[in-house]
Chains A and B, each alone.
Chain A
């Protein structure tokens, strides 16, 4: 059953790359068809409710290490599969409309299918190594898709940056996997779970060791889900086409980190220190990103930082041992963030690739469907009561409230900021008066683009009511614990304050009234990295190259060469050409020989 989900996108990607390049429409059909088949498979697994027939392929089998390509059929996996394939299918359809005129259309869909294959592999993974394999493949797909318009230097640089930062996360992840294998002797989730349930932390493994190992695992999440300090690639990843941003950098790939944390949660739980670190990093990322988003002017950047912020929420939830809440928010976030990105794509498409919100305005008039869906998305994100985002965010805040009040306060403040910047975005882009001439030429997007928007909007609305969280598992903190009303009230209050404030401040302005340089320049993260990491590394590399050329090369190669040549020069002087000198040397040799034989040997 799992192969029906996993293989069609791979086959699609291979077919398109090898044969179908010139046939654009067919390529698109193949890719979308493959995604649909995967969705069918995911539905089958979902309805089989744990009884699905899943087969395993032995990838490498060695004494002590069994690496298989298999599948997990538990609620966590089947939920995630539905999200990935469902949202993925809608984005595929939207992407056709968005990228229709692009000459590289087939190439785009081939890469999209490759991504789907990799992402589904992560979700289905039944062991850490399989997950790592597909983890890296997802990073590769992201590299290819971010750098899709590769003639643009900025896109090429962004793709490279994304891959390398992800690789740093993978470095930690791999070490975590190695550590887990060394401690527990297995890489399969089922076996690990049983082992931990039975004996907990094996004897002889100190807290320090397990903290390091679990932190390694978390590093993978930091890279993939762009947590502090490995967050720098996500904003730049907006260089890719908007459907890519929607699929990869909002709904699925970045969520893979959170999914992985939930998968290995029982291992992370063994170290209280790591859980604390996860919680704090999540909260910090969330706040950090929200602050930066307040001052961004590119519609995609705002949404990117918003994604960062929401991912921070999810990670924070995991840190508070609330994995169900985290997955719930992941699902609803997939709905409304994909919706927001696609709607933004619709706007960009309609305005002929204008992305600055200060050059938009009154889009309500020109793009009504996009306007409504974007509104729904915004309300869902900011936590309008009743929409899906409200339930999921509030459940996370509730879990945080019971875990650590400071983190709860941070989360609440971030919710306020979220409401603020999203309302700012909405008001500036969709309401008010047109800010430039070009807005008058805007038009609504074709149906192939608006229908996915509508479908996602419906999901964003009903997402809180269809029992996603109950399906995944019990809440960490049940609603009967105290303070539920307080938390609910505070979160609604933060929504109202944030929205209201932004409405007042940005209601009728024509250009940005406030300017906080530090926020606008994203706390100078890129500059800091450039100065403290990139430049020193380049300098070290240059030094080592010089060292290698002169010292190692000089010492071993040139020195031996020079000494051989030098010795030759010295010895050459002995061959003066004078025959009588030769005779003298000859005689001396004979004398030495005679001495040797007569005196030394004879005695």
Chain B
């Protein structure tokens, strides 16, 4: 079977991995805090994708479908939402203090 004709678990995992890497690269490289934040979200959603894919392709013995992975995704989405709320509040107050969103300027966390 051809990779390009049938969609298997591996395709989803590859996509998920790719998204994760892009998000990671963004966190490591981008200068604006908001963009870093968005890349963080990207990483989270990549994990979500992986979870859903696993869930979809996983069949318990006895033919029963379970939905544990999708439930986990719900959890993650909820947590991500909460985290965004808190994080954006922090970024806003940080901007008010420092007048910048350039990560290179926020370097006080050192000895």
| A residues neighboring B (CB under 8 Å) | 572, 575-580, 582-584, 587
A-B pair number, CB within 8 angstroms: 27
| B residues neighboring A (CB under 8 Å) | 24, 27-29, 103-104, 106-111
Instruction: Report yes or no: A583 in contact with B27, Cβ–Cβ below 8 A.
Output: yes
Write out the residue numbers on chain A whose beta carbons fall within 8 Å of the beta carbon of B111. 572, 575
User: What's the minimum C-beta distance from A594 to chain B, rounded to whole angstroms?
Assistant: 13
User: What's the minimum C-beta distance from A26 to chain B, rounded to whole angstroms?
Assistant: 77
The 8 Å CB contact of A576, one of B29, B103, B110, is: B110
Q: Tell me the complex Cα distance, A526–B60, Å.
A: 106
* Least CB separation from A576: chain B residue: B110
User: What's the minimum C-beta distance from B38 to chain A, rounded to whole angstroms?
Assistant: 15
* Least CB separation from B107: chain A residue: A577
Write out the residue numbers on chain B whose beta carbons fall within 8 Å of the beta carbon of A587. 24, 28
Write out the residue numbers on chain A whose beta carbons fall within 8 Å of the beta carbon of B109. 575, 577, 579, 582
Q: Tell me the complex Cα distance, A552–B110, Å.
A: 36
Q: Tell me the complex Cα distance, A587–B109, Å.
A: 18
Instruction: Report yes or no: B110 in contact with A577, Cβ–Cβ below 8 A.
Output: yes
Instruction: Report yes or no: A577 in contact with B103, Cβ–Cβ below 8 A.
Output: no
* Least CB separation from B110: chain A residue: A577
Q: Tell me the complex Cα distance, A583–B28, Å.
A: 7
Instruction: Report yes or no: B28 in contact with A579, Cβ–Cβ below 8 A.
Output: no
Write out the residue numbers on chain B whose beta carbons fall within 8 Å of the beta carbon of A572. 111
Most buried by A among B103, B104, B110: B110
Write out the residue numbers on chain B whose beta carbons fall within 8 Å of the beta carbon of A583. 27-28
Q: Tell me the complex Cα distance, A576–B110, Å.
A: 6
Write out the residue numbers on chain A whose beta carbons fall within 8 Å of the beta carbon of B103. 578-580
User: What's the minimum C-beta distance from B92 to chain A, rounded to whole angstroms?
Assistant: 17
Q: Tell me the complex Cα distance, A583–B37, Å.
A: 13
Instruction: Report yes or no: A578 in contact with B28, Cβ–Cβ below 8 A.
Output: no
* Least CB separation from A587: chain B residue: B24
User: What's the minimum C-beta distance from A447 to chain B, rounded to whole angstroms?
Assistant: 91
Q: Tell me the complex Cα distance, A583–B27, Å.
A: 8
Instruction: Report yes or no: A584 in contact with B110, Cβ–Cβ below 8 A.
Output: no
* Least CB separation from A578: chain B residue: B107
* Least CB separation from A582: chain B residue: B109
User: What's the minimum C-beta distance from A582 to chain B, rounded to whole angstroms?
Assistant: 8
User: What's the minimum C-beta distance from A547 to chain B, rounded to whole angstroms?
Assistant: 37
Most buried by A among B24, B28, B108: B28
* Least CB separation from B106: chain A residue: A579
